[in-house]
Amino acid sequence: MSVLSRLMAAVIGLCLSLTVPAFSQDLNKDLRPNFLLTGAINRTSDDLSGTWTYSKDLYRTGLTDINGWVAKSRMQRYRDLDVAAEEAKGGTTFFEFDMDRGPQMTIPGAWNAAEPELRYYDGLIWFQRKFTPKALNGGRAFLRFEAVNYRAYVYLNGKEIGRHEGGFTPFVFEITDALKAGENRLTVGVDSKHDGKTIPTDITDWDLYGGITRPVRLIYTPATFVDDATATLTPQGRITGSVQLNGPNAAGQGVTFAVSGTGIKATATTDAKGFAAFDIKAPKGLKLWSPESPTLYDVIFSAAGDTLKDRMGFRTIVAKGADILLNGKPIFLRGISLHEEEFGNNPGRIITEAAARALLSEIKYGLHGNYVRLSHYPHSETTVRLADEMGLLVWSEIPVYWTVDWENPAVLETALRMQRETIYRDRNRAAVIIWSIGNETPVAEPRTRFHSAIADTTRALDPTRLVGAALLVKASVENGQTTIHIADPLLDKLDVMAVNTYAGWYGDDTLDKLPSLRWDVPNDKPLVFSEFGADALAGYHVADGSKKFSEEYQAEYYRKTLEMVGKIDNLRGMSPWILKDFRSPRREHPVFQNGWNRKGLLSETGQRKAAFEVLADYYTKKAAEKPQ
Ligand code: GCB
């Protein structure tokens, strides 16, 4: 090559690299987890919940030594070793941990609530438990963690079996070959530290909590098993779906999908990669899932001697013009937002079915709602399954919140991975209608590019649901008239326009001004208020409502805000902020807050504030109205 042609090649190369979108190579990467174990909750398993021991490791000595050297063996909490027995031998060896004799904690649950000294602990803690597996008899075994916040380092019998980043989604490691007969030692390092490169970052308005916050199960499968299976009703009246097998006999297998009591039975044969798709006409008698009638069917996916059972509902969801159509009919989303915190004055994210039911019942039966925004991250599978059973539509969200390192491809990859893990986990839940790709992120080109990548991945993975995001709004004043606008290029990527507004709480607007604020919003899409709210301390009363933090102020705020939003033509729903007061280190007023965000309609123990009835009345009327 001549010098000139080399120069030209370099110039062309430079031009190409300037025009290629920054994230293209990451988007092409296959971010599907190695194992999904869809519907794992219904598989044969041993629940590893219960008593674990733990060892604090604020300086991460179990992971690395000073100067980045390998951790000292006397610090490696994950070693498969009986420290007391070693000590009894005498000699020069000594240890600076002993997992067997460490303090105990009940798993699942956040450590912040477990011990007063761990309330503000933010860093690494090692957890350990022992278990004896069933005989595998040629089958396989997997560890499935429903959530570990925020990073997990997993070791079995002293060997690392995997790592995971992200506090709210499940992950699975195969341990078939790593298991021993008899007792096995499972050690998990959990690092709760968030920073500028995690999702979310360390700047939030909720307690970041640390720990093994959801159940851990040892799951048994045959050698070849159904790793993933999905089925959905299309607006064209068909049931389409697929099955992915994993194992030595995955290829060329007959697959059956059957829905009990409906006559639905689809069959297909897996390809060389163990994948099979099916597409059949939905029978006339199929009862559609809806909040009023949340019909769930027993379904079975079977292949290669493995059977995956689940309970599933069938419905369609479409955005058309300004309407949201559920099963072809316009619907108004009567909702509320929710953090993942159980009732009580020391919540630890311990979401048992009873805890989830107590929360969702307040929405369904107390507020007469039909919808819940599970903010600001994927909630427990228990909650989502219960929403399916009780008939509550769900907005599901990943914690791309406020500030994120928008230009960092590794951070985008983390976000994409989270969204995938969420979609794979929940795409068989009829309740879930909206995948949200973020909350209140300031408009700027790198941020819009980042969100667009998530929107594209979401749509590619699940074209059957709506894509949304909770957006910021802008206000302008002209001739004394305040107008609120949504000016966000991300709108092009969304099916549902969702906005958060706090006029009347933050800022200088008085409550009497709210109904006259003008909303200038595009009207070709459904608009949903993803948030509005005001703090109130339960039991603090100021009869004329003149004082912020009083129940009366919050109730009046709701009246005026409902009057304001009710004037917007394409309003199709709302999820005010929020059902229950929640822990937030951002909120430290010593009289009213003490570490709690008080925008709940219920106190942390479930006491209803005056605004609860205001919203409940509004929803009762809405439910009685003919839909638009
Ligand atoms: C918001 C955030 C939410 C906060 C809330 C508040 O806009 O999305 O996470 O907790 O405001 O209370 O200020």
Q: Which of 146, 172, 189 is nearest to 228 (CA)?
A: 172
pLDDT tens per residue across span 32-69: 899 999 999 999 999 999 999 999 999 999 999 999 99
pLDDT digits over 177-210, tens only?
999 999 999 999 999 999 999 999 999 999 999 9
Q: Looking at ligand 1, which residue's alpha carbon is closest to its atom 13?
A: 205
Alpha carbon separation from 260 to 45, 223, 257, 299, 355 (Å, rounded):
24, 27, 10, 6, 30
State which ligand 1 atom lies nearest to the alpha carbon of 376: 9
Q: Convert the pLDDT of each residue in 68-99 to its tens digit.
A: 999 999 999 999 999 999 999 999 999 999 99
Q: How far is the CA of 405 from the centre of ligand 1 (A)?
A: 20
> What are 457-471's pLDDT values in tens digits?
999 999 999 999 999
Q: Which residues pair with 394 in a beta bridge?
A: 372, 432
Cα of 409 vs centre of ligand 1, distance in Å, is 27
In the chain, ranges of CATH 2.60.120.260 domains: 40-215
Pocket of ligand 1 (CB under 6 A): 205, 376, 439-440, 500, 531, 577, 597, 599
Domain 238-315 homologous superfamily, CATH: Immunoglobulins (2.60.40.10)
Measured by CA distance, the residue closest to atom 6 of ligand 1 is: 205
Q: Residues 324-366: pLDDT tens digits?
A: 999 999 999 999 999 999 999 999 999 999 999 999 999 999 9
Cis link prior to 451 (omega < 30° from 0)? no
pLDDT value for 152: 98
CA of 593 to the centre of ligand 1 (A): 15
The closest of 217, 215, 219 to 141, measured between CA atoms, is 219
Nearest ligand 1 atom, CA 586: 10
Pinpoint the residues of the chain covered by CATH 2.60.40.10. 238-315
Tell me the CA distances in angstroms from 146 to 30, 112, 301, one per residue in order: 22, 19, 22
Task: Give the atom of ligand 1 at the shortest distance from the alpha carbon of 204.
Answer: 9
Element (H, E) at 160: strand 159-165
Taking CA atoms only, the protein residue closest to ligand 1 atom 9 is 205
Domain with CATH 3.20.20.80 in the chain: 319-622
pLDDT at residue 23, as a whole number: 43
What is the pLDDT, as a whole number, of residue 226?
Answer: 98
Mean predicted lDDT score pLDDT of the chain? 94
Considering only CA atoms, which residue is closest to atom 3 of ligand 1?
205
Structure tokens at 321: 């013009």
SS3 9: helix
Length of the chain: 628
CATH of domain 319-622: 3.20.20.80
What is the signed CA dihedral for 443, 449, 451, 454, rounded to 10 degrees?
180
pLDDT of residue 29: 59
In the predicted structure, residue 1 carries a pLDDT above the cut 50? no
> What per-residue confidence (pLDDT) applies to 26?
45
Instruction: Report pLDDT digits (tens) over 118-159.
Output: 999 999 999 999 999 999 999 999 999 999 999 999 999 999
Distance from C-alpha of 206 to C-alpha of 348, rounded to nearest angstrom: 13
Separation between Cα atoms, residue 593 and residue 609, nearest integer Å: 15
Tokens of 17: 């690299």
Return d(Cα 71, Cα 59) in angstroms, integer: 11
- 16 pLDDT band, cuts 50/70/90, is very low
Cα 294 to averaged position of ligand 1 atoms, centre (Å): 31
Q: Which is more confidently placed, 287 or 480?
A: 287
d(CA 24, CA 152): 28
- Helical (H) or strand (E) element with 218: strand 216-221
Mean pLDDT computed over 496-521: 95
Between CA 63 and CA 66 the distance in angstroms is: 10
Mean predicted confidence (pLDDT) in 403-427: 97
CATH code, residues 40-215 = 2.60.120.260
Whether pLDDT at 115 is above 70: yes
Q: Cβ contacts of residue 73 below 8 Å, gap of 6+? A: 79
Quote the pLDDT of residue 32.
86
